[in-house]
Amino acid sequence: MMTLALGLIPLTLLGAVLGLDVVSFPQAMISRPLAAATLAGALMGRPGHGLIVGAVLELFALETLPFGASRYPEWGSASVVGGALFAVQPSGTPGALTAAVCAALFTAWLGGWSMVWHRRLIARWAAGMRDALTSGSCDAVTGLQLRGMTSDIVRGAIMTWVALMVFVPLQNAVLAQWSFTAIESRAAVVICAGAVAGGAIWKIVHTTKGTTWFLLGGLAGGSLLLLVT
């Protein structure tokens, strides 16, 4: 257990940085699943495995756009968890992708709650500094900003480390008892991801005039590419 805890330090640091990118700084979308899971896979020596998890999670993430004060899943640290869990399993292990994606989705869900708690914490700090802020203290403004970002890094690190500490042994236990074939397992994940992405895209674009034809045109092009590539 001690070895596992120490071995997770590089992934924890990556999760911390990517957790910060989600909202606080710099919102360059390194925290989106395609990038974050691939980076986690690369850290484990298998960027290709990370990219596969990243692509699946990205399909889910199309549904959850980070509008202002709304509650949404936190994909940064969750994608690090998913990418790392899939990358440590041997290629072709039945159920490895299913377990990794499910763990990442749970982490993203909890990560969303951790962001709510973090925002409440900053509000408490801001209330405690109200006199300094209303008197125009630059130190108070800068101090609150730095505290917010520092605590967000810590939040991302804790999320990643705790999730990996729970899901690494759990994944091993689950995969030891796995009974579906590799094809069935992947199909289950991809059906869910494809359905969510399809529904999400319709939700985003259907209010704009003429988009149905663009979507149908794209589907025709996509089908053609499936045949020729």
Site for other proteins in 74-113 (CB under 8 A): 95, 97-99, 101-102, 105-106, 109
Residue 19 structure tokens: 């957790």
DSSP state of 32: S
Per-position b or e across 84-103, b if 16+ CB within 10 A of its CB: bbbbbbeeebbbbbbbbbbb
Instruction: Give the CA distances from residue 30 to residues 3, 70, 182, in Å, rounded to whole numbers and listed in that order.
Output: 28, 21, 30
Q: Which of 8, 11, 39, 88 binds other proteins (CB under 8 A)?
A: 39
Minimum distance, C-beta of residue 19 to other proteins, in the bound complex (Å): 13
**DSSP string covering 63-83:** T----TTS----HHHHHHHHH
Q: Is residue 117 at the binding interface for other proteins, with CB under 8 A as the rule?
A: no
Question: Which stretch in 8-16, 158-166, 218-226 sits in contact with other proteins by CB under 8 A?
Answer: 218-226
Q: Which of 62, 154, 166, 168 binds other proteins (CB under 8 A)?
A: 62
Minimum distance, C-beta of residue 154 to other proteins, in the bound complex (Å): 14
Q: Which of 13, 44, 64, 93 binds other proteins (CB under 8 A)?
A: 64
How far apart are alpha carbons 15 and 42 in whole angstroms?
Answer: 13
At 28, is the secondary structure helix, strand, or coil?
Answer: coil
Q: Which of 27, 45, 128, 172 binds other proteins (CB under 8 A)?
A: 27
Minimum distance, C-beta of residue 218 to other proteins, in the bound complex (Å): 2
